[in-house]
Amino acid sequence: EKGPYRHFMLKEIHEQPDAVSRVVGRFVDRSERTLAVQDPLSFDFADLSRMTVSACGTAYLAGVVGKYWFERYARLPVDIDVGSEFRYRQPPLAPEGLALFISQSGETADTLAALRYCAANGQHIASVVNVEESTIARESKSVFPLRCGPEIGVASTKAFTTQLATLACLSVVAGQARGVLAGDKVEELVTALETLPGAIASALLVEDQIAEIARGISKASDALFLGRGPLYPIALEGALKLKEISYIHAEGYAAGELKHGPIALVDETIPVIVIAPSDELSEKTVSNMQEVAARGGRIVLVTDPKGAESHGAMAHQCIVLPEVHPFVAPIVAAISVQLLAYHTAAHLGADVDQPRNLAKSVTVE
């Protein structure tokens, strides 16, 4: 069942170009060059006052990226929280609010409790799930299925990138409905989404090089991941993946937060993974990287050809992603942090598919 792959996780990482392509294909209207949902929605994006997102773990981090997209491309304010905090916080919810839940399994107890709270408080209920027969799907009025096939590895990979692709498409659908996006801008974003499967495939081609970088990381006891804007949650995801499968302590930080504390940790023993493909904010991230370099930190720069040319010399090692539109760059960068975590854990001989203490579906709080 694993085919040529050593672990299900690696197989699932390699399934991502196809899985993401299927998601994008479900939203793209090829003749109109716009994005649309296949089934009628139980709410109207144009009428929403705000969106409240709840999820756990990696699914939560997909939602954090989604917040950047919905706020930017649909001008829809988004609140997001992990299910376990949201459910007991009992936040006031605005009329005409959409509550969106993200879950691979569709059975996560805290996410489900957050859903039931929102349903009882008059919100429109929608979910992004992989398991379409799940409780969360059943209790949602609108369901956006991932259809990425069963995810066997405990550490989520293809569910994460298909969640991201779904949220990216939905943010454009919402932007169109809310009159924020039209014409050339929509065309530009549709094209960016269509290039995504190919870009993910290219990001997978540098796997051997990432495995080499991972050899170095496997000797460290701590690692730091930095990113800015929608790449900040990718830094958090990189740290989560690394700690859960390799058991190396890792933290993700917003690059701008570095000087507010974590820079105290930086010395020549700590790998600092800086996620900075070229975009309007990458120069800022690079100046944070300079601060790390000045303290002897071992920098792994995840960037694109342009970024590698201008800033690569500052890094110990570079992972070069294909050049893509900044809109979809977080999805492409996610591939690198998955491979980095996978190969680090594999070097250490860890049980990648069944990490200690973790379960695939967390149905108790």
Near ligand F6R by CB under 6 A: residue from 52, 103, 176, 338 = 103
> Residue 277 gets which letter from DSSP?
-
**CB nearest ligand F6R: which residue?**
57
Does position 362 interact with ligand F6R (CB under 6 A)? The reply is yes
Binding status of residue 54 toward ligand F6R by CB under 6 A: no
- 155 makes contact with ligand F6R (CB under 6 A): yes
Binding of residue 246 to ligand F6R (CB under 6 A): no
Contact between residue 269 and residue 316 where contact means Cβ atoms under 8 Å apart: no
Q: Give the separation between CA 251 and CA 19, rounded to whole angstroms.
A: 28
135 binds ligand F6R per the rule CB under 6 A? no
Cβ distance to ligand F6R smaller for residue 28 or 236: 236
Q: Given the rule CB under 6 A, which of 104-112, 119-127, 259-267, 304-312 is the region that contacts ligand F6R?
A: 104-112
Ramachandran quadrant class, 344 (left: phi over 0; alpha: psi -120 to 50; beta: rest)? alpha
Applying CB under 6 A, does 248 fall inside the site for ligand F6R?
Answer: no
Considering only 36-44, 84-92, 101-109, 270-278, which stretch makes contact with ligand F6R by CB under 6 A?
101-109
Sites for ligand F6R among residues 206-245 (CB under 6 A)? 244
Binder of ligand F6R out of 104, 135, 246, 344 (CB under 6 A): 104
CA distance 337 to 58: 13
Sole binder of ligand F6R in the list 35, 56, 308, 318 (CB under 6 A)? 56
Q: In the chain, how long is the greatest CA-to-CA distance?
A: 55
- DSSP for 307-358, written as a single string: HHHHHGGGSSEEEEPPP--TTTHHHHHHHHHHHHHHHHHHHTT--TTS-TT-
- Shortest gap between Cβ of 103 and ligand F6R (angstroms)? 3
Q: What angle do CA 3, 343, 162 make, to 5 degrees?
A: 65
67 an active-site residue? no
Taking CB under 6 A as the rule, does residue 166 contact ligand F6R?
no
104 or 246: CB nearest ligand F6R: 104
Phi, psi angle pair for 244, to nearest 5°: -70, -30
To ligand F6R, the closest distance from the beta carbon of 135 in angstroms equals 11
Angle between helices 232-246 and 57-74 (to 10 degrees): 170
For residue 63 the two structure tokens come to 């939602």
In whole angstroms, give the CA distance from residue 236 to residue 242. 10
Q: How far apart are CA 272 and CA 267, in angstroms?
A: 10
Which lies closer to ligand F6R via its Cβ, residue 44 or residue 132? 132
Closest Cα to residue 186, out of 175, 200, 199? 175
Q: Which residues are known catalytic residues?
A: 360
User: Where on the chain is the footprint of ligand F6R (CB under 6 A)?
Assistant: 56-59, 103-105, 108, 111, 155-156, 244, 361-362
